[in-house]
Amino acid sequence: MADSSLSLAPALERIRAEIDVLLGELLTVPQDPRAQLYEAMRHAAIGGGKRLRPLLVVAACGLFHTARERALRVGAAVECVHVYSLIHDDLPAMDDDDLRRGKPTVHKAYDEATAILAGDSLHALAFEILADEKTHEDPFVRAELVGELARAAGPAGMAGGQMMDLAAAEADLDLSAVTRLQQLKTGALIGFCLEAGAIMGRVPIEGRTRLRGYARDVGLAFQIADDLLDEEGEEEKIGKKVGKDRARGKETFVSLLGRERARRQAELLVEQAVFYLQSYGAEADLLRAIARFAVERDH
């Protein structure tokens, strides 16, 4: 049987360094009045974050023997979308946060206009990366990656989930509504990470069911863990303000289930996610370790 007790720390450390190098190359600061825009993009995108999404892409690509430098490009594209969404979500008109990944948010370090444009620029960069033949020699693969990421990021995915989240402050959501909200807000992009592995590996649609099951369960487990951290975690470790959801009267998995049931639910989801991988051998160990990390982390 494959060893599934793999520690994730070295894998996370490695990918953090790799993504920083890649984004550093892609975001060379020009010597013209756009310099501040690029600096703001670098401030938000480089040197912070768990890089969980790029790691998921690399892990999924690992199942199908995709070259690591290609998987990293797709991981960087997902991270660009994730970071753009954080920049925009942190704006005063949205969640109004001052701290992100242990640093001032972009509108605090620069200004709101720069933050809006830095988010928009990272959003465009994500698709520029995917469309480049360095990402995959087969244009069919590149076009499919673009289509899936656009769907996952747009109104039927992440942006739609964020809209539901804004509306949620004024509504009493039940468990199924919160689940649906989170499946869009964070689940869609996590789903893309796994789908990207299958696309890069040219796995036909009908062969992707297990990976989609894994993505759905890990995505929800990850969100429940986030809700628990928002209640119990340490601001210093997480790098952002905690206790926000409760203060705003927003329903979360924890407010609806209580801490104990929420924790058990997250653990059940992780078991289920790992179960989806049972036909894979050691090549899926990284995905198994990520599933466990999703609920065991303290940040």
Binding site for its own copies (CB under 8 A): 32-34, 36-38, 41, 84-85, 88, 91, 93-94, 107, 111-114, 116-117, 119-121, 123-128, 130-133, 138-140, 142-144, 146-147, 149-151, 153-155, 159-160, 162-164, 166-168, 171, 180-181
Q: How near is the Cβ of 241 to its own copies at its closest, in Å?
A: 18
Q: Determine whether 174 is exposed, middle or buried from the number of CB atoms within 10 Å of its CB (0-12, 13-18, 19+).
A: exposed
What is the dihedral angle through the alpha carbons of 211, 157, 9, 232, rounded to the nearest 10 degrees? -120
Q: How near is the Cβ of 105 to its own copies at its closest, in Å?
A: 13
Q: How near is the Cβ of 28 to its own copies at its closest, in Å?
A: 11
Residue 114 vs 252, nearer CB to its own copies: 114
Q: How near is the Cβ of 75 to its own copies at its closest, in Å?
A: 17
C-beta of residue 83 within 8 angstroms of C-beta of residue 44: yes
C-beta of residue 239 within 8 angstroms of C-beta of residue 299: yes
Residue 106 vs 262, nearer CB to its own copies: 106
Distances (CA, A) of 109 to 25, 62, 88, 231: 22, 37, 14, 27
Residue 126 vs 290, nearer CB to its own copies: 126
* Residue owning tokens 């998995």: 253
Cα 131 to chain centroid, rounded: 20
Question: DSSP for 58-71?
Answer: HHHHHTTT--HHHH
Residue 73 vs 297, nearer CB to its own copies: 73
Nearest to 197 by CA among 73, 61, 59: 61
Residue 52 vs 149, nearer CB to its own copies: 149
Residue 165 vs 285, nearer CB to its own copies: 165
Q: How near is the Cβ of 174 to its own copies at its closest, in Å?
A: 13
In 132-170, which positions are buried (b, 16+ CB within 10 angstroms) versus exposed (e)? eeebbeeeebbebbbebbbbbbeeebbbbbbebbeebee
Q: How near is the Cβ of 172 to its own copies at its closest, in Å?
A: 12
